[in-house]
Each structure stands twice: as C-alpha cells, then as structure tokens.
C-alpha cells in the first residue's frame, strides 16, 4: 500500500530580485524640467508631452528636432526657455531630465535635482539616474515598459518589436472601454463574483475580436450574459488542465489563460515547476501529490478539496502532467464535479508520449512500421500488473505501444508479453523526465529493458515505448543511456 499524505499548500514563490522597479508615473498636468535641446532630448520631450506633462526645456542651443516637437506637441505643452537651467528651476518639478555630453554637468544636474527632491534621469548615463525610461509598447491606456537596466537597449528594442507584432492595435480601444465602463459595472448591481465574471467575458471577447471597436451594445450584452447566469455566477468552477510532459513551452495558450485566471491551483508532483511560473502570482498553489509509488493524496481527498474550493466561488485549476484524459483520473474528478453541480472544463495537453517522440525525432505511426498507436498503463488500481492487457495487440509488430507508469511492473509485463508472442528483439526505449532539460533515454531491445532500467535507477516520471517505429532510434543510439537536452 502506498503511503498517504494530505494536500499541502506550496510555499508561495517569492519575487526574484529586480534590477529596476517598473512604475508608471501619472504626469497629466504636471511640470517636468528638461535640461538640453538635442535631438535625444526632443525624443524625451515627446514622451513626456504624450503623457500629458508640461515640459519646460532649458537650453542655449536648441536643435531643429526640439523646435519641431514644441510646435506640434503630442499632448502637454513643450515650452522652450533659451538659457541654462538653474537650481531654482527645479522647484515644483515632478521629474527632471538632463541631456549632457560630459559627466561633470551630468553630476551637477543630478545632485541639484536630488537636493530639490526631484527624481532625475540623465539620458544615456545610468550612473546619474534615479529611474529609466526603457522601451515602450503603446496601446494606451494599455502600456508596456521594457527595461534591461541600461545593459542592452538594442535587446529591449528587439523585444518591443516582438510585442508590437503580437498585440493588435485594437487592444487600445478595449483598454479605453474598460476604463470608461468600470464605474458603470460597479453601479450595475452585480455582486463581486458577477463583476469579476463581467471582466472575464469582456476580456475573452476583446482577445477574440481586437479589431472590432467596443460599443455600448457590447457592454449591455456582457451585463445581460452575466445576469443570465443567475446564482451560478456565485459558484466557482473547475478546469482540468494538461500541463504537458514538462517543457513549459509545450503549454497551450488555453492552458496559460487558465493558469493566469486561477484562484487556486491543485497540482501533482509530476508537474514541472517551470509550468507553475505561468500561473497568476496571487493564486494559491496546493500540492496534491500524485506521484509514482511514493506518498500520495487519496483521490477522494483531492475530489473533496476541489469541489469545496469551487463551492466557495473559487476558480480552481486541477493541473496534471501530460493530458488529463490519459491515465490522469479525470473521470473521477469530472464525476465529483457533476455530482456537486460544479461547472467544469477540460484543457487538453501534450502527452508524455507525444513530447518524448518529438524530442527524439520519432514518428510513432511511421507507415513503414506502425499502423496503430496504443497507450496502456503499467499498473492497475492495486499497483500490480493489470489483468486485462490485450497481449496480442502488444505483440503486434505493426503497433507502437506507450506504457505509462511502468517502472514497478515492467519486468513482469515484459515476461508475460514475450510469452504471448512479443519478439525479444523489438526496439524499446525508456524515457525519464520527457522534454525537460535533464531528459534521459535508455534504448535497447525490449528483452533487455527491465534489467537496464533497474541498473540506471532513473528518477522522475518514466515512460516506456515499444515497437518497430523505434528502429531509427535504436540504430542511432544502440544500447545506450543518453541525455537529450
């Protein structure tokens, strides 16, 4: 009998050290001092004016770019004062920006600003800066700032270009509508859970229809949809999410959205911790340890916890390695939700077999060798070898078989399969921690695999694959243990 344990709330992940704290300043109607009239200073004047600031530019030598910017300021007024700045000019300024060629003038300006209690930035001179600008993706009021702490501006610009391509321009309209409708949502009479549901509906529609401009009929439709849910809106939900075999980049977009909207995440030991990095930081993360032949939570305890949290109005994500519908006990959890009348959704994931095959460059249904793919489990509910394995199908030379949870019973499984007609020389592989950086693979004939696996003592989740589709792998890595990262 496997040892039992209770669900355990995982220790919250702490924020890693930040080189800079990202802060968005409200500058509408505030005064900013900008010392310098160069082209670089003109770019900063444009940013500050776009944020609504009044920009006072102090410079004896004013570039054409600065004069042109002042003539067509994008927001707040840009006023040019053609003289050198003085310490008294800093009084009442929200921030101070300097554009100087030499360190001496930069240091004097920074010291004066700090003495006046004004945050200071000297363009391209991080040593004299209290804050930095970074690269900006503008879908205002949706704004994204990117900083490399001054180490790699070109890299920041490249990231900005990527984000620009990913974020439709229409998101600006939807972000503006959110600001416009926020007070109306509060006054709508919806409960807290109803208001949260409204913003979920709003967000889902905005993401799917970024090119359509939001109109008042959208607002009314979203409100009606939430009210139409009645008491159900006060009840939480459960989403069964496939975490994939380990590599977080194999998560589906739908899985990421579920993780980022969850209130509570119930996860197994087999889930890669890198996957949890995609979760909403504020979400509770609870280990409900389902691990191969180690201490595990009772399935009934997991079901009870999952339902209880949903009944409290929580959005619960049940996060499982691979795909929740393949040897993930999804059926029992779905039944528990249905009995409790809890809304439940399933987000499929990349299976361990698919992930391992992709990493190894294998076609599991190579038409030269395999006309069928089957997934079987290596142990029954009792922990022993299942009695109802189709041995003829396992021995079929045109079948590729993926065996889940095989470690404890592999020796007896292979012995029985060989007796039922499986060829002793059939290619086989045992893959530990599939798709992860430390993935390991044993390749050999199936007759050798149990002893090889026992000698290797592989840690982590192990998958065994058997069939002629593995011929190419055997030829490339005969009788070896390899790390594929």
- Report the catalytic residues: 268, 290
Taking the C-alpha atoms of residue 424 and residue 401, their distance in angstroms, rounded to an integer, is: 15
* Inter-residue contact 352 to 434 (CB < 8 Å): yes
73: tokens are 């300021």
51: tokens are 């944020």
Taking the C-alpha atoms of residue 441 and residue 313, their distance in angstroms, rounded to an integer, is: 44
Taking the C-alpha atoms of residue 47 and residue 29, their distance in angstroms, rounded to an integer, is: 14
Taking the C-alpha atoms of residue 296 and residue 310, their distance in angstroms, rounded to an integer, is: 22
117: tokens are 């209690």
SS (H, E, C) 318-358: EEECECCCCCCCHHHHHHHHHHCCCEEEEECCCCHHHHHHH
Taking the C-alpha atoms of residue 310 and residue 336, their distance in angstroms, rounded to an integer, is: 11
* Inter-residue contact 369 to 469 (CB < 8 Å): yes
SS3 25: coil
* Inter-residue contact 85 to 35 (CB < 8 Å): yes
Starting at the edge strand found earlier in the chain, the sheet holding 427-432 runs: 372-377, 399-404, 462-466, 427-432, 440-445, 480-483
* Inter-residue contact 123 to 41 (CB < 8 Å): yes
Taking the C-alpha atoms of residue 475 and residue 471, their distance in angstroms, rounded to an integer, is: 6
**DSSP symbol at 175:** H
Strand partners for 317: 239, 265
SS (H, E, C) 234-273: HCCEEEEEECECCCHHHCCHHHHHHHHHCCEEEECCCCCH
Taking the C-alpha atoms of residue 413 and residue 293, their distance in angstroms, rounded to an integer, is: 17
Taking the C-alpha atoms of residue 304 and residue 376, their distance in angstroms, rounded to an integer, is: 28
3-state DSSP percent of the chain in helix, strand and coil, to 5: 40, 20, 40
Phi, psi torsion values for 481, nearest 5 degrees? -110, 120
Starting at the edge strand found earlier in the chain, the sheet holding 95-98 runs: 78-81, 54-58, 31-35, 95-98, 120-122
Q: How far apart are the first and last CA of the chain?
A: 35
């Amino acid at each position: 009998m496997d040892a039992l344990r209770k669900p355990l709330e995982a220790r919250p992940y702490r924020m890693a050290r930040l080189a800079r704290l990202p802060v968005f300043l409200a500058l509408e109607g505030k005064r900013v001092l900008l010392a310098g009239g160069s082209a670089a200073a003109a770019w900063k004047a444009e940013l500050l004016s776009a944020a609504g600031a009044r920009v006072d530019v102090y410079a004896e030598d004013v570039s054409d770019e600065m004069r042109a910017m002042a003539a067509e300021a994008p927001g707040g007024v840009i006023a040019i004062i053609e003289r050198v700045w003085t310490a008294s000019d800093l009084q009442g300024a929200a921030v101070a920006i300097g554009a100087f060629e030499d360190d001496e003038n930069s240091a004097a300006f920074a010291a004066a600003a700090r003495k006046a209690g004004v945050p200071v930035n000297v363009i391209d001179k991080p040593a004299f800066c209290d804050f930095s600008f970074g690269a900006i993706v503008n879908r205002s009021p949706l704004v994204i700032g990117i900083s490399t702490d001054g180490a790699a501006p070109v890299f920041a610009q490249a990231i900005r270009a990527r984000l620009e391509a990913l974020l439709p321009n229409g998101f600006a309209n939807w972000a503006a509508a959110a600001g416009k409708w926020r007070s109306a949502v509060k006054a709508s009479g919806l409960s807290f859970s109803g208001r949260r549901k409204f913003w979920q509906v709003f967000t889902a529609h905005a993401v799917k229809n970024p090119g359509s401009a939001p109109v008042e009929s959208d607002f009314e439709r979203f409100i009606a949809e939430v009210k139409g849910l009645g008491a159900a809106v006060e009840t939480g939900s459960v989403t069964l999410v496939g975490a994939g075999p380990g590599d977080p980049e194999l998560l589906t977009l739908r899985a990421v959205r579920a993780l980022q909207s969850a209130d509570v995440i119930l996860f197994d030991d087999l889930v890669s911790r890198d996957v949890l990095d995609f979760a909403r930081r504020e979400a509770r993360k609870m280990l409900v340890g389902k691990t191969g032949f180690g201490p595990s939570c009772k399935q009934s305890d997991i079901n009870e916890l999952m339902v209880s949290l949903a009944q409290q109005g929580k959005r619960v994500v049940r996060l499982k390695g691979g795909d929740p519908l393949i040897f993930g006990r999804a059926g029992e959890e779905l039944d528990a939700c249905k009995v409790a009348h809890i809304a439940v959704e399933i987000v499929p994931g990349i299976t361990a077999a698919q992930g391992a095959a992709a990493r190894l460059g294998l076609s599991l249904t190579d038409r030269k060798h395999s006309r069928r793919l089957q997934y079987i489990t290596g142990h029954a509910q009792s922990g022993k070898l299942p009695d109802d394995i189709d041995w003829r199908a396992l021995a079929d030379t045109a079948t590729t078989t993926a065996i889940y949870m095989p470690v404890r019973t592999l020796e007896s499984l292979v012995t029985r399969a060989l007796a039922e007609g499986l060829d002793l020389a059939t290619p086989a592989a045992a893959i530990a921690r599939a798709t992860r950086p430390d993935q390991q693979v044993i390749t050999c004939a199936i007759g050798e695999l149990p002893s090889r696996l026992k000698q290797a003592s592989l840690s982590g989740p192990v998958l065994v694959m058997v069939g002629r589709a593995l011929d190419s792998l055997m030829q490339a890595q005969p009788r070896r243990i390899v790390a594929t990262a």
